[in-house]
Amino acid sequence: MASSNGFHVCVIGLGSMGMGAARSCIAAGLQTYGVDLNPAARDALREAGAVEVGTDAGAFADRLDAVLLLLVNAAQCRAVLFGENGLAAKLRPGTGVMVSSTIAVADAKEIEKGLSERGLLMLDAPVSGGAAKAAAGQMTVMAAGPRAAFDRLRPVLDAVAGKVYEIGETAGLGATVKIIHQLLAGVHIAAGAEAMALAARASIPLDLMYDVVTNAAGNSWMFENRMKHVVDGDYTPRSAVDIFVKDLRLVTETGLSLNFPLPLATTAYSMFANASNAGYGKLDDAAVIKSFAGIRLPGDEEGQ
C-alpha cells in the first residue's frame, strides 16, 4: 500500500466497480470512505482499510475533498446529492464530485447545474473496464468538466484510472461517449449470445465454440469475457441484464433525439428486455442467452 496522504475521498456505491475503485483509492494512499446500503460491502471496505463507512456520507462530509459516485442510474445520483438529507448541501465549496454512473446527457447537465449552484466542481466521468480493471486501478475514464474539476479530482483519477480521456469542458460530453461505447458493449454481448445459442442448437460443444472464436477473427473482448460465463454456467451478476436494459434504452433514446437510426442497438435492447421480462434481469448480463428457446446450456437440467 502507498503511504497515506491528506486527500479525503468518499466512494458512494460499493458494487463491483465501486468496491474496486475504493480499494484502488486505499492502495494509492488516499484517505478513503465508503457508502453503501449493503452491510457486507461496508464491512469489506472497512477491513480493506477505509477510514470510515456508512449508509450515507453525512457524518464525514465536511472532511471530504472529493466524492466518487458509482451508482446504478441518474435517479440514485440525484437522490444522494439533492434528495432528503442530500450530500451536496453538506460538502465544502470547491469539493470535487466525480459522477461515474452511466446516465443520460440531460441528467449529467442537470446534476452539474445543481452542484455548480452549491459551489461544487463536477466531472461528468463515466467509466469502463469491469470489476477486474476497477480493482487494479486501471479503469478507462471518459471525462468532461472544467479544468478546476480535473485538477481537484486528479488524485482520484490517478488512483482509479489506467486511461483518462479529457473530452471537453461541457457536462454531457462524457455521458455521450459512454452511451456510444455502451452501444458496442451491448451489441457485442447480444451477438455473442446469439452465436453461442446457435452453437447449442447445432449441438456444437460450447467450450469448443468458445475456444474457436477466442482464437479467431470473430472474437471481441465482450465475447471472451461474457461467453465464458455461459460456458461455465455461472450467471453470478458482475453486471446484470437489467443494467444493459437501462444502458441500451439510453442508447436508443439518444438515437431518437438525434433522429438517427440504430438498428443493431434497438435489436440488442429488445433481447435484453426480453431476458429481463423472462425473469433473468438480476443475473449476469450473459444471461441474455437464456431468452432463446429450445436449447440446453451448461448448468441447465432441462433445455430452455
The grid coordinates listed for 203 are: 449441438
Q: Which of 108, 240, 219, 246 is nearest to 171 (CA)?
A: 108
Position 146 scores a pLDDT of: 98
Q: Does 304 have pLDDT greater than 70?
A: no
- The mean pLDDT of 234-252, rounded to a whole number, is 96
pTM as predicted: 0.92
Q: Which of 133, 178, 246, 290 is catalytic?
A: 178
Distances (CA, A) of 134 to 54, 128, 211: 21, 8, 26
45-73 pLDDT per residue, tens: 999 999 999 999 999 999 999 999 999 99
CATH 1.10.1040.10 location in the chain: 176-291
Q: How far apart are CA 298 and CA 233, in angstroms?
A: 5
Q: How far is CA 217 from the centre of its chain?
A: 27
The domain 8-169 having CATH identifier 3.90.550.10: the answer here is no
Q: Per-residue confidence at 123, pLDDT binned at 50, 70, 90?
A: very high
Record the cell numbers describing residue 230, joined without a space: 455461459
The string of pLDDT tens digits covering residues 209-220 is 999 999 999 999
Cα-to-chain-centroid distance, residue 1? 25
Q: Which among 93, 43, 91, 89 is positioned nearest to 68, based on CA atoms? A: 91
Q: Is 178 a catalytic residue?
A: yes
Beta strands per DSSP E along the chain = 8-12, 31-35, 52-54, 66-69, 96-99, 121-124, 127-128, 139-144, 161-168
Third-level CATH fold of 176-291: N-(1-d-carboxylethyl)-l-norvaline Dehydrogenase; domain 2 (1.10.1040)
- For the chain, residues classed under CATH 3.40.50.720 are 8-169
Mean pLDDT of the chain: 96
